[in-house]
């Protein structure tokens, strides 16, 4: 908070290196010498919004309300048709533009998803998944065959009438 006040008052230089285009150094996904840098935590509001405390606070309230609306829409989509989890993570990404806790949650989620994808690409795991899927499909086919042999195929409507 004091660093923000110092920057607003012009007493000190920004602690975050900024390029000529206004981008922060250390953007997520930026790779330097094989090391991936993570984006710095904190607000990504434009400078003129950060300059005023009341404007910045109202900006954060607006971002929170928009993110909350998106997350609630995603929660509603979980039991209903729609990409519920994708929308929930979209709302978290909106929150992550302003709130450190959301940025940390998204970093943790991104790390876990990457680890799961790497495990899923392991040849042993893929082979096991293919075998289990094949066995499951054979069992389902046998059960459907037994049902059709025992009861036949009956349509829920009456065609002949």
Supply the mean pLDDT for the chain.
Answer: 77
Can you point out the beta strands (E) in the chain? 30-32, 35-37
More confident residue, 47 or 109: 109
More confident residue, 14 or 90: 90
Task: Grade residue 29 by pLDDT with cuts at 50, 70 and 90.
Answer: low
Q: How far is CA 137 from CA 10, 17, 22, 144, 147, in A?
A: 68, 56, 55, 10, 15
Task: Grade residue 52 by pLDDT with cuts at 50, 70 and 90.
Answer: confident
pLDDT for the residue numbered 33: 57
Burial status of residue 84 (CB atoms within 10 A of its CB: 0-12, 13-18, 19 or more): middle
Lowest mean pLDDT among 24-38, 78-92, 140-154: 24-38
pTM of the model as a whole:
0.50
- Over residues 56-105, the pLDDT tens digits come to 888 889 999 999 999 999 999 999 888 888 999 899 989 988 888 888 98
pLDDT for the residue numbered 151: 83
What mean pLDDT comes out for the span 113-135?
Answer: 89
């Amino acid at each position: 908070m004091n660093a923000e006040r110092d920057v607003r008052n012009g007493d000190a230089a920004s602690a975050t290196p900024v390029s000529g285009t206004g981008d922060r150094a250390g953007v997520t996904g930026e790779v330097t010498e094989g090391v991936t840098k993570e984006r710095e935590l904190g607000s990504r509001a434009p400078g003129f919004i950060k300059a005023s405390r009341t404007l910045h606070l109202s900006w954060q309230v607006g971002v929170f309300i928009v993110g909350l609306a998106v997350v609630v829409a995603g929660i509603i989509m979980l039991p209903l048709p729609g990409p519920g989890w994708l929308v929930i993570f979209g709302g978290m990404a909106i929150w992550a533009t302003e709130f450190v806790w959301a940025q940390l949650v998204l970093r943790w989620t991104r790390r876990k998803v990457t680890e799961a994808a790497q495990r899923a690409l392991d040849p042993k795991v893929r082979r096991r998944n293919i075998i289990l899927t094949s066995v499951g499909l054979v069992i389902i086919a046998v059960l459907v065959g037994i049902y059709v042999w025992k009861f036949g195929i009956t349509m829920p409507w009456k065609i002949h009438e």
